[in-house]
Amino acid sequence: MTTIREWQVGQSLPDVTLAPVSRLDLIKYAGASGDYNPIHTIDEEAKKAGLPGIIAHGMWTMGNLAKLFTSYYEEGFVQDYFVRFQSMVFLNDVITLKATVKEKDDKAIRFAVAAVNQHGKEVIKGEAVFSLYE
């Protein structure tokens, strides 16, 4: 397996494409996170809020995107993780997770991170700083 230190500026971690967003995904996330806002699980409530239908929790997408780093935890940890929620995520959207090295030194690697939908639109976008152990 590649160590995280081997990635060079401009290179990307392998993309991860998720299964289409399902109702069950959002019900599970509501239960696990405690975010029971019904716009994420009940169609009528989403529509009442002026939405076309159920939308994914922004934090569900952000939580998924962090998994690009999980296999490197023997080498360091995610010290900073920032995202801007750019677009809504709907049921059946197909989300691809991306991380590209922007900067690196002996102490940390800064990644540009994004989750992109099947239309090529960034639904969330930001940065992660992976702090390296010595």
Partner 1 sequence: MYQHDIGKRSAKVKNVVERGAVKKFAEAVGDPNPIYWDEETGKRSRYGRNIAPPTFPRVFDYGVIEGLKLPAKGLIHGEQHFHYERPLFVGEELYCYAEVKDYYEKQSSMGLLGFLVIANNGEDADGNLIFTSTSTIIINEAVRKAMSV
Please tell me whether residue 17 binds partner 1 under the rule CB under 8 A: no
Shortest Å, Cβ 53 to partner 1: 17
Q: Say whether 30 sits in a helix, a strand or coil.
A: helix
Please tell me whether residue 14 binds partner 1 under the rule CB under 8 A: no
Q: Yes or no: say if 101 and 9 are a contact pair by the CB < 8 Å rule.
A: yes
> How many residues are recorded in the chain?
134
- Cβ proximity to partner 1, 8 vs 19, nearer residue: 19
- Whose tokens are 């750019």? That residue is 86
Question: Among positive and negative, which fits the CA dihedral 51, 124, 77, 18?
Answer: positive
Site string for partner 1, 55-94 (x = CB under 8 A): ---xxx-xxx-xx-xxx-xx--xxxxxxxxx---------
Please tell me whether residue 33 binds partner 1 under the rule CB under 8 A: yes
Please tell me whether residue 3 binds partner 1 under the rule CB under 8 A: no
Please tell me whether residue 117 binds partner 1 under the rule CB under 8 A: no
Shortest Å, Cβ 100 to partner 1: 18
DSSP state of 4: G
> How far is Cα of residue 40 from the mean position of the Cα atoms in its chain?
17
CA distances from 94 to 16, 74, 77, 121 (A): 11, 30, 27, 11
Shortest Å, Cβ 121 to partner 1: 17
Q: List interacting residues with partner 1 (CB under 8 A).
A: 18, 25, 28-29, 31-35, 49, 58-60, 62-64, 66-67, 69-71, 73-74, 77-85, 133
